[in-house]
């Protein structure tokens, strides 16, 4: 891009600025004292191209309008690849802009208008504002080392797309790593839970066995208690009935004996009456009897026979009573034996094993938990509520009682008291068994629940492991892709730095009068320069500031050349605002000569200086500041 003509009105310090017939090759010198409007030309060119300047941020661009004026305008004519173009912009003090871009060969059909002008120019000239200020436009400021990560430099290197893709992958990786960290955290938590859930081998079977044993013992105790209660009730009944057994037995025996005697006497009388009626005392007895039955009409024989039959019947009845009494006694003794047998069975009951005598949860199979503690407290409460001695009656006492029961001598109260004692003992064991049964059931339920959770955790862990593995694979591929992109970007940077170094090294001796022959430019665009005098590579801070500026100028021109070579591939202007501010006239003359002999695509150099030496190789010198706010060149003078 070569600038052909510049016209501006009411912009910056110029009320009128008109520059035409500008040389397309060589140096255009802008000279003048301070505040003469040299730098303003650079800013107006920048505004014409991109609608903004280096010095004024976008929101303050209205300040570019000339003091006292409400709006300004600029028209810049330039050439790109052999074709002429013209960009016009209007700017109001409040920052409002209008713009138009035309091709000179078709001026009636604008190529772009308004906001479309700046992108159109960027496409046309091959670079945008950022690239421009990093390379072709050196504003009046300290020349610093170009930043390797600036968009312009990255674009020049060709690494910008690589780095954009690497950055996108980095973002994806960051998100994936966060998700992976969450998965690993979850996995750790699950592994810890699994370690706590890990069931002991055979614990479930042991609990099942314990539950069966408890059930069996409980049933046995319950049966014994019921049987004991039944036997006790039967014994009580028997004992109460047995109380009058002696008297009834004696009475029945007496009556039986009397009846027997009476039957025998009646039989003897009947026999004597029948066979020896004349033998004494039969006649007396017969006379007495006949006197008694004289009015009845009965015979003596009949009366005696009747008496004998009556007594015989009575005898049979008494014998029957005696038999009934004997039968009752036998039955009561059987009940007594039954009670004694139940007591014997109690004796033969196995005591609870020690583990079941403890409260559930204390060193038992059943884990002490909510249920276990509740049941333990229930078991403790049984003994506390009963408030009785819970040891069994001693063996000797039980033996004596048994004997007395067998003989139906133990009173009901005595038996009840003894059995109550036994019942307390049995109830205590039963309650313990109940507590253990409940605790064991709870333990089993918990074990089953833990078993289910165990399985679920194992499944989730397996799924999580698969996800972690897949994510690792996914991330490894992206890490490698990112590393390859970064490596390629570094490689491009190295190549770029190497090319830049070669190019700038060729220019460097010209700018430093042979004091520095070549320089090193690393991939971060950090510069070290070889001093011919010191025969060593020096960092920039080891050399004078004037030389630093020369080296940086050479580097910037090298970057500009690279930009143009890669993106524009056409002749290009460069605007250098006081690049040789501290040069003496001899050195300035040499620098300007070298500038015009650099070669490459940079052909039109706009160089700002306070003054140029008489014999400096300048194609056109524009003296600024001769009129306060007007500068005209190649146009008729404006009054």
Kindly state the smallest distance separating residue 139's Cβ from another protein, in Å: 22
Phi, psi of 205, deg, nearest 5: -65, -40
Which one of residues 433, 598, 609, 618 is an interface residue with another protein (CB under 8 A)?
598
Kindly state the smallest distance separating residue 362's Cβ from another protein, in Å: 59
Kindly state the smallest distance separating residue 572's Cβ from another protein, in Å: 11
Cα 3 vs. chain centroid, distance in angstroms?
A: 64
* Residues in contact with another protein, shown as a per-residue x/- string from 452 to 491 under the rule CB under 8 A: ------------------------xxx-xxx-xx-xx--x
- The helix or strand, by DSSP H or E, that contains position 338, with its residue range, turns out to be helix 300-348
Which one of residues 159, 197, 418, 424 is an interface residue with another protein (CB under 8 A)?
159
In the complex with another protein, which residue's Cβ is closer, 79 or 332?
A: 79
Kindly state the smallest distance separating residue 120's Cβ from another protein, in Å: 9
Dihedral of alpha carbons 326, 332, 335, 336, sign: negative
Do 558 and 500 contact (CB within 8 A), yes or no? yes
DSSP 3-state of 96: coil
In the complex with another protein, which residue's Cβ is closer, 192 or 597?
A: 597
Site for another protein in 539-558 (CB under 8 A): 557-558
Reduce the secondary structure of 248-311 to three states and give it as a string: HHHHHHHHHHHHHHHHHHHHHHHHHHHHCCCCCCHHHHHHHHHHHHCCCCCCHHHHHHHHHHHH
In the complex with another protein, which residue's Cβ is closer, 422 or 562?
A: 562
Kindly state the smallest distance separating residue 194's Cβ from another protein, in Å: 32
Contact flag: residue 599 with another protein (CB under 8 A): yes
Beta pairing class for 97-103 and 26-31: unpaired
Dihedral of alpha carbons 98, 101, 104, 109, sign: negative
Contact flag: residue 597 with another protein (CB under 8 A): yes
In the complex with another protein, which residue's Cβ is closer, 160 or 262?
A: 160
In the complex with another protein, which residue's Cβ is closer, 54 or 580?
A: 580
Long-range pairs of 313-322 with CB within 8 A, sequence gap ≥ 24: 314/255, 314/259, 314/262, 314/263, 315/256, 315/259, 315/260, 315/262, 315/263, 317/259, 318/252, 318/253, 318/255, 318/256, 318/259, 319/256, 321/248, 321/252, 321/255, 321/256, 322/249, 322/252, 322/253, 322/256
| Side-by-side strand order, sheet with 527-531 | 516-521, 527-531, 536-539
Contact flag: residue 510 with another protein (CB under 8 A): yes
Contact flag: residue 317 with another protein (CB under 8 A): no
Contact flag: residue 613 with another protein (CB under 8 A): no
Contact flag: residue 328 with another protein (CB under 8 A): no
Site for another protein in 112-141 (CB under 8 A): 119
Contact flag: residue 162 with another protein (CB under 8 A): yes
In angstroms, what CA-CA distances link 630 with 56, 258, 621, 637? 22, 176, 16, 9
Which one of residues 31, 236, 548, 561 is an interface residue with another protein (CB under 8 A)?
561
Kindly state the smallest distance separating residue 471's Cβ from another protein, in Å: 15
In the complex with another protein, which residue's Cβ is closer, 174 or 202?
A: 174
Phi, psi of 538, deg, nearest 5: -120, 145
Contact flag: residue 27 with another protein (CB under 8 A): no
Kindly state the smallest distance separating residue 143's Cβ from another protein, in Å: 18
Contact flag: residue 165 with another protein (CB under 8 A): yes
In the complex with another protein, which residue's Cβ is closer, 70 or 119?
A: 119
What is the distance between the alpha carbons of residues 432 and 212, in angstroms, rounded to a whole number? 15
Measuring CA to CA, which residue among 555, 601, 549 is closest to residue 574?
601
In angstroms, what CA-CA distances link 595 with 162, 235, 551? 34, 137, 13
In the complex with another protein, which residue's Cβ is closer, 301 or 566?
A: 566
In the complex with another protein, which residue's Cβ is closer, 168 or 212?
A: 168
Contact flag: residue 161 with another protein (CB under 8 A): yes
What is the distance between the alpha carbons of residues 561 and 574, in angstroms, rounded to a whole number? 10
**In the complex, which residues of this chain contact another protein (CB under 8 A)?**
119, 158-162, 164-165, 168-169, 476-478, 480-482, 484-485, 487-488, 491-492, 503-504, 506-507, 510, 557-558, 561, 565-567, 569, 597-602
């Amino acid at each position: 891009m070569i600038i052909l003509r510049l016209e501006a009105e009411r912009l910056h310090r110029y009320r009128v600025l008109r520059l035409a017939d500008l040389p397309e090759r060589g140096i255009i010198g802008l000279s003048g004292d301070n505040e003469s409007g040299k730098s303003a030309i650079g800013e107006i060119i920048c505004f014409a191209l991109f609608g903004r300047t280096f010095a004024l941020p976008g929101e303050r661009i209205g300040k570019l309008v000339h003091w006292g004026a409400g709006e300004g305008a600029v028209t810049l004519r330039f050439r790109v690849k052999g074709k002429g173009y013209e960009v016009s912009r209007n700017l109001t003090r409040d920052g409002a802009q209008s713009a138009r871009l035309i091709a000179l060969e078709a001026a009636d059909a604008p190529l772009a208008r308004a906001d479309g002008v700046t992108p159109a120019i960027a496409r046309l000239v091959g670079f945008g504002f950022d690239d421009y200020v990093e390379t072709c436009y050196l504003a009046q400021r300290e020349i610093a080392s170009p930043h390797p990560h600036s968009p312009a430099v990255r674009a020049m290197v060709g690494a910008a797309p690589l780095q954009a893709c690497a950055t996108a992958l980095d973002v994806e990786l960051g998100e994936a790593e966060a998700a992976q960290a969450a998965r690993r955290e979850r996995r750790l938590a699950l592994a810890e839970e699994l370690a706590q859930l890990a069931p002991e081998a055979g614990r479930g079977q042991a609990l099942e066995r314990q539950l069966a044993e408890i059930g069996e013992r409980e049933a046995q105790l319950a049966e014994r208690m019921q049987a004991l209660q039944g036997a006790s009730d039967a014994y009580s009944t028997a004992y109460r009935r047995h109380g009058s057994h002696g008297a009834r037995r004696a009475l029945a025996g007496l009556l039986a004996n009397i009846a027997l005697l009476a039957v025998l006497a009646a039989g003897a009388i009947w026999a004597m009456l029948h066979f020896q009626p004349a033998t004494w005392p039969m006649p007396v007895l017969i006379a007495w009897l006949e006197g008694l039955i004289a009015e009845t009409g009965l015979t003596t024989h009949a009366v005696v026979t009747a008496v004998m039959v009556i007594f015989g019947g009575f005898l049979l009845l008494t014998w029957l009573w005696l038999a009934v009494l004997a039968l009752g006694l036998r039955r009561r003794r059987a009940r007594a034996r039954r009670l004694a047998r139940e007591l014997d069975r109690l004796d033969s009951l196995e005591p609870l094993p020690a583990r079941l005598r403890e409260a559930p949860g204390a060193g038992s199979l059943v884990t002490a938990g909510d249920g276990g503690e509740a049941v333990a407290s229930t078991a403790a409460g049984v003994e506390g509520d009963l408030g009785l001695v819970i040891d069994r009656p001693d063996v000797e006492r039980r033996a004596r009682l048994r004997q007395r029961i067998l003989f139906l001598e133990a009173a009901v109260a005595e038996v009840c008291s003894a059995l109550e004692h036994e019942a307390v003992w049995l109830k205590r064991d039963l309650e313990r068994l109940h507590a253990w049964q409940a605790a064991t059931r709870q333990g089993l339920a918990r074990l089953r629940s833990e078993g289910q959770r165990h399985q679920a955790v194992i499944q989730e862990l397996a799924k999580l492991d698969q996800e972690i593995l897949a994510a690792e694979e996914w991330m490894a591929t992206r890490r490698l892709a990112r590393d390859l992109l970064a490596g390629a970007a570094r490689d491009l940077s190295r190549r770029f730095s190497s090319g830049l170094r070669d190019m700038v090294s060729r220019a460097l001796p010209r700018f430093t009068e042979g004091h520095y022959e070549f320089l090193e430019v690393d991939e971060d665009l950090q510069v070290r320069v070889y001093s011919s005098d010191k025969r060593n590579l020096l960092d920039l801070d080891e050399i004078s500031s004037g030389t630093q500026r020369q080296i940086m100028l050479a580097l910037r021109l090298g970057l500009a050349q690279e930009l143009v070579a890669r993106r524009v591939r056409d002749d290009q202007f460069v605007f250098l605002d006081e690049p040789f501010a501290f040069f003496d006239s001899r050195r300035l003359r040499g620098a300007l000569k070298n500038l015009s002999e650099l070669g490459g695509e940079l052909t039109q150099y706009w160089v700002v200086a306070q003054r140029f030496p008489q014999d400096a190789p300048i194609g056109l010198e524009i003296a600024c500041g001769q009129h306060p706010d007007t500068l005209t060149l190649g146009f008729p003078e404006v009054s």
